[in-house]
Chain A
Amino acid sequence: MTSLRVEDVGNKWLPSKVSLEVAAGECVVISGPSGIGKSLLLRAIADLDEHQGKLSLGDTSYIDMPAIEWRKQVGLLTADSAWWADSVAEHMPKMPLEQLTALGFTKEVMKWSVDRLSTGEKQRLSILRVLANQPSILLLDEPTANLDAENVKKVETLLLNYCRHKPAGLIWVSHDAEQAQRIADRRYRFESQGLVEVAA
């Protein structure tokens, strides 16, 4: 069980330094005005942008871990997924059938070409793609933004199940207040002076 510690992480794109701790099995929701830098904060935590401050998983600082290993452990899911090869199968290993069906796919989906996927299908498949790494922490940038109500439900259930059973820590960026109510163990607003905890 590994928790994520974010201490005074900042860079030139973020409005302020950010500190945050997320335990395994916990779901933290971050909301805030658009353009404030929520996505950039997640990028910094995934060590994808240069930043100051400390990041650690359990007792291990990110510096002591190869960047590749860090990003397998701290999986980042962006709002719009990118696909670099022709078929779905080239982007992820064989997925367990229960995960595929949990998001409404059959095992045939692996043979599909990426071109014929809808935005929503891409979104759901990119969730399975990042779960394949079995990350200890998931950074989710509006994972349900492009989905209909039924699929929002499926994705929430799948991700929260993963969170509780792995157990893994989730940092979930969401604009939807009702969703935040449903899923959050703790809630923050990201504002220009930093993260502000929202009373439950």
Chain B
Amino acid sequence: MNMISLSALDLSIAALLVLVLAVLGLKLQLGVSRQLMIAAIRTTVQLLLIGYILKFLFENVHLGYMLMISIIMLLFAGREVMSRQTNPYKGLWGFGMGTISMFLSTFMVTLLALTVIINNDPWYTPQYAIPLLGMMLGNTMTGIALGLERLTQAAREQRKNIEARLMLGHSGQQAIMSIRRQSMRYGMIPIINSMAAAGLVSLPGMMTGQILAGSPPLEAVKYQILIMFLIAAGTGFGTVIAVVLGSRRLFDDRERLRLDRLRQ
């Protein structure tokens, strides 16, 4: 079965739908039409751009290029984690903690998947490595952002409870233990939900894409299961690392709660 190539006309028809929606938004005074148009243009430009980059990488398979693109992806994901926080950590910490946790979890899991499970030649074949890393980063980013958001917000809300425990001679980590557990759980809930709902409620995007592109469904399913497991592991480990780092940063060496280390 061959893939049906989309023409410019095909895409224009879909674009027309967005345009109609924008006009409707204007009529109803929703105030989102401008945003909608900008987002539609961004998605076109950004995806075309990454398309060209992927094309280049597929034609020039080299470990150096792969490392470069991986690091760029990682840094963007790190920035995204920060920008999703109501009160991010001040200074380099906010960016650094998210990025380090993502690096440790996603890079390790992706590396394992590429070298041991998929085992292509070379192992960094971009057709596999880039989409895999992208999906890992995208999901782990969400988990870490949720976990850190929960941690910092709960610490702010429950400041009195935490300090009451510090006053009685509990350590910072003891005082924030239940919040820490809750934050780790929060970060893992989305992937647990999507694993539980996969196939019943939603057809995961990657599998849908493979099927649209002509893969036999069972092959697509096997890949999707693999991806789900990898994402679960990556998100879980990443969230645990980020929340541990984040909860340590909330206290100083005299076990004081340091909410001033968060941006107000």
Contacts and interface: CB of A to CB of B under 8 A. Distances in A.
Interface of A: 46-50, 66-69, 71-72, 75-78, 80-84, 129-130, 133
Given A50-B256, A67-B254, A72 B169 contact: yes
A83 B161 contact: yes
A130 B168 contact: yes
Contacts of A130: 167-168
A72 B253 CA distance: 16
Contacts of A50: 252, 256
Contacts, number: 52
Interface in B156-195: 158, 160-171, 178
Contacts of B161: 82-84
22 contacts: A47-B254, A48-B167, A49-B256, A50-B252, A50-B256, A66-B255, A67-B254, A67-B255, A67-B256, A71-B167, A71-B168, A71-B169, A71-B255, A72-B168, A72-B169, A77-B167, A82-B161, A83-B161, A84-B162, A84-B164, A84-B165, A133-B169
A71 B158 contact: no
B163 A48 contact: yes
Interface of B: 158, 160-171, 178, 252-256
B168 A48 contact: no
Given A47-B256, A48-B256, A67-B255, A81 B171 contact: no
B167 A76 contact: yes
Those 4 A-B pairs whose CB atoms lie nearest each other, nearest first: A72-B169, A82-B164, A84-B161, A67-B255
Nearest to B179: A84
Given A47-B254, A47-B256, A71 B164 contact: no
Contact of B170 (A49, A68, A82, A83): A68
Contacts of B165: 84
A132 to B, nearest CB: 8
B158 A75 contact: no
B255 A46 contact: no
B166 A48 contact: yes
A77 B163 CA distance: 11
A72 B168 CA distance: 6
A177 to B, nearest CB: 27
B157 to A, nearest CB: 12
A68 B255 contact: yes
A158 B160 CA distance: 26
Nearest to A84: B161
B166 A71 contact: yes
Contacts of B169: 68-69, 71-72, 133
Residue of B163, B166, B252, B254 contacting most chain A CB atoms (<10 Å): B254
A60 to B, nearest CB: 15
Contacts of A71: 166-169, 255
A46 B171 contact: no
B168 A133 contact: yes
B256 A78 contact: no
A74 to B, nearest CB: 9
Contacts of A76: 167
Contacts of B252: 50
Nearest to A72: B169
Residue of B162, B170, B178, B255 contacting most chain A CB atoms (<10 Å): B255
A130 B164 CA distance: 10
Residue of B164, B167, B170, B256 contacting most chain A CB atoms (<10 Å): B167
Contacts of B254: 47, 67
A94 B254 CA distance: 28
Nearest to B160: A82
B33 to A, nearest CB: 48
Given A46-B167, A49-B256, 10 more contacts: A48-B163, A48-B166, A50-B256, A69-B169, A78-B167, A81-B164, A82-B163, A84-B161, A84-B165, A130-B167
